[in-house]
Amino acid sequence: MTDEFQNGVAAGRSERRHGDGLVPSMIGALEPPPLPETGPRPAAQKVSPEELALIERIRAGERELFMELVRPYQKIVYSMAVSILKSEQDAEDVAQEALFKAFKNLAQFRGECKFSTWIIQITVNEARHRLRRANRAALGSIDAGIESDEGDYIPIDLADWREIPSEALQRKELRECLHRAIGTLKPIYRDVLVLRDVQHMSVAETAEMLKISEASVKTRLLRARLQVRDALAPGIDGSWNVGSTTYKRVRSF
Amino acid sequence: MEKGGGPQAMLEGKTIVEISCFEVWRRISDFVDDDVEPGLKERLEFHFGRCKHCKALLDGTRNVITLIGDEHAFDIPRGASERITSALLRRIEEDGQDEHRE
């Protein structure tokens, strides 16, 4: 059994100030109610009692309940996979493989981290494994720590960017450009961005998952956010805004 | 690039030690995450109030976070969820049969 399944991640307090994008089960997991004093696994403090009970039943042989356990996380798993692989088909395969590995290794889940954290870790490992097998160009900097975090990032331009109404994301062009912008990031920056801003993990959780310092998480996150901003910033034309009749391609692709 | 008019400025009777745009860029992500010490936060807010370039960068960074964090940013394509579910159920069932045979 590999460490990826045995290690719980010391999940810190969520630093997000809003619940946007969090699925209900994750919101509940942020501040779980106190566990009973005599639970089946005393170490479990990050998992809700309902989830823990479900896990125990699956371990006891009710295998069909696994889908109920992972259904709230399917989208998280998929989004993690697609953000790493940049391919919907590959992401689908990896999501399926990651979930199956989670099933096979459920006995190794010790409840020392949130179940979502554990399953995301499996997904990240599986997606990276697939990238390595495919020997893609991105392989070079995939291992955290190879590239220095040193060096400041200078924004390309400082043009104003109007506020984006949430409806703007309904536009397929914007979603696709967002995916491409994330895809252009070097993996060490992309991983941090996805964990922090897509999966809404805390700095501490992200650092633990990627085995880097919290300072590195912050440095990489800064660079990632600014690079995506540069890739997407449409300038003062405000073409992302709903109501605009023209779509202006962003400058990086 | 605006420098803020000097190393210090007054705000509501308090002296604000001004910082450069370069320093603002280094901490803009932490500022958005509300992860800066109170003194620096005050200086950053003061800077954003006077520097339109850095304010634009701040707005853009917030927009990026809003976009990426939106629950629709990474929607599962139509049919993919069903395919993942059915494939997973099949593999779990096959795995159970294998264990039973063993």
Residues in B closer than 8 angstroms to A68, CB to CB, are none
pLDDT tens sequence across A145-166: 334 455 677 766 555 655 555 5
Least confident of A49-63, A67-81, A222-236: A222-236
Query: In this predicted complex, what is the ipTM?
Result: 0.78
Residues in B closer than 8 angstroms to A232, CB to CB, are 63-64, 67
Average pLDDT over residues A68-86: 87
Q: What is the SS3 assignment for B11? A: strand
Taking residue A12's Cβ as centre, other Cβ atoms within 10 Å add up to 15
pLDDT tens sequence across B22-65: 899 999 999 999 999 999 999 999 999 999 888 888 888 888 88
Mark yes or no for CB contact A198/B68 under 8 Å.
yes
Mutate to test the interface with B, among A76, A229, A242, A251 (most CBs of B within 10 A): A229
- Which residue of chain A is at minimal alpha-carbon distance from B27? A222
Mutate to test the interface with A, among B84, B93, B97 (most CBs of A within 10 A): B84
Q: Name the residue among A82, A115, A243 with its Cα closest to residue A171.
A: A243
- The domain spans of chain B are 8-74
Q: Name the residue among A133, A135, A61 with its Cα closest to residue A103.
A: A61
Q: Which domains does chain A have, with CATH numbers?
A: 3-135 (1.10.1740.10), 143-253 (1.10.10.10)
Residues 34-73 of B with CB under 8 A from A: 34-35, 52-54, 56-57, 59-61, 63-73
* Residue partners of A98: CB distance under 8 A and separation at least 6: A77, A81, A119, A122, A123, A126, A127
Classify B13 in phi/psi space as left (phi over 0), alpha (psi -120 to 50) or beta. Answer: left
Residues in A closer than 8 angstroms to B61, CB to CB, are 225-226, 229
Give the distance from CA A141 to its chain's centroid: 18
Which residues make beta-bridge pairs with A192?
Answer: none
Rounded to a whole number, what is the distance in Å from the CA of A202 to chain B's nearest CA? 10
Taking residue A60's Cβ as centre, other Cβ atoms within 10 Å add up to 10
pLDDT for B78 equals 79
Q: Which residue did the predictor score with more confidence, A121 or A46?
A: A121
Contact assessment for residue B59 and residue A163, using Cβ atoms and an 8 Å cutoff: yes
pLDDT for A202 equals 92
* Residue partners of A248: CB distance under 8 A and separation at least 6: A234, A235, A237, A239
Rounded to a whole number, what is the distance in Å from the CA of A38 to chain B's nearest CA? 31
- Which residue of chain B is at minimal alpha-carbon distance from A202? B33
Least confident of A68-72, A141-145, B38-42, B78-82: A141-145
Say what angle helices A88-104 and B80-101 make with each other, to 10 degrees: 30
Distance CA B19, CA B29 (A): 16
Q: Which residue did the predictor score with more confidence, A26 or A53?
A: A53
Mark yes or no for CB contact B85/A67 under 8 Å.
yes
The rounded mean pLDDT for chain B is 82
Q: Which residue did the predictor score with more confidence, A138 or A84?
A: A84
**Burial (0-12, 13-18, 19+ Cβ within 10 Å), A237:** middle
Q: Number of Cβ pairs closer than 8 Å across A and B? A: 141
Residue A54 has pLDDT above 70, yes or no: yes
Rounded to a whole number, what is the distance in Å from the CA of A111 to chain B's nearest CA? 22
Residue A242 has pLDDT above 70, yes or no: no
Helix (H) or strand (E) holding B9: strand B8-11
Residues in B closer than 8 angstroms to A241, CB to CB, are none
Average pLDDT over residues B64-77: 82
Taking residue A7's Cβ as centre, other Cβ atoms within 10 Å add up to 16
Taking residue A172's Cβ as centre, other Cβ atoms within 10 Å add up to 8
Q: What is the SS3 assignment for B14? A: strand
Max Cα separation, chain A?
A: 62
Distance CA B76, CA B62 (A): 24
Distance CA A99, CA A117 (A): 13
Could you give the percent of chain A with pLDDT greater than 70?
60
